[in-house]
Amino acid sequence: MPKQVDHHERRQQIAAAVCRLAATRGLEGVSLRHVAAEAGVSMGRIQHYFKTKDEMLLFAFGTISERVEHRVAQAVATLPQPPDARSLVRALLVEMMPVGAHARAEMPMWIAFFARAVVEPRMADPLREGTRALHAFVAEQVGKACSDGESAADPAREAEILLALADGLMMRLMVGGIEADAALAALDHQLDRAFGSPDRG
């Protein structure tokens, strides 16, 4: 019997190599040849799955996005059920910041992808879609707090502020401009403003 080929596993192997190279060398170090060497596979195998560098980057970006979604789901599962709106948003935003080991390893790839998207419009499409979805989710959760009488905030505006804060804290954490505890305190301060201060006992 011929050996079954797990194409998903192979693509994930390549995506992992892309992320490692982006984290250590930046996007200039992510070529089809370099990725093949990092993944321990032939150039032919890389080209079987990805014809261009941008195709490879888009897949790697999608892989990281799926990992973040999985970690958010895990974090939400540990919350008292059903979780309140503020806790849901906090779980999401914390995973957007490099405060955990997995997030710290992935953030250089995110930043490198953002930089590429500035000059390559096709690469910006998933970022725009993802940002719209994030904004809609956060605004919805703030809106729930408003309807429950916990907050009088403007949901759309507070969503913009929270996402901008998370992005800014992510960058500062990456370059050592702020400690993780201080970053989380800043996030909690803004969450209190948007949702109302929770009873932390």
pLDDT in tens, 65-101: 888 888 888 888 888 888 899 999 999 999 888 887 7
Instruction: State residue 42 phi and psi, 5-degree precision.
Output: -80, 160
Length of the chain: 201
Residue 140 has a pLDDT of 94
Taking residues 40-68, report their average pLDDT: 85
Question: With the C-alpha atoms ordered 36, 37, 38, 41, is the resulting torsion angle positive or negative?
Answer: positive
pLDDT in tens, 15-42: 888 888 877 777 777 888 888 898 888 8
134 to 22, 29, 44, 112, 165: CA distances (angstroms): 24, 30, 37, 20, 13
pLDDT in tens, 171-194: 999 888 999 999 999 999 999 999
The pTM assigned to this predicted structure is 0.80
Q: Where are the domains of the chain?
A: 2-200
What is the CATH architecture of 2-200? Orthogonal Bundle (1.10)
How many Cβ atoms sit within 10 Å of the Cβ of residue 47? 13
Mean of the per-residue pLDDT values for the chain?
85
Residue 4 has a pLDDT of 52
Among 43, 42, 53, 46, smallest CA distance to 11 is for 46
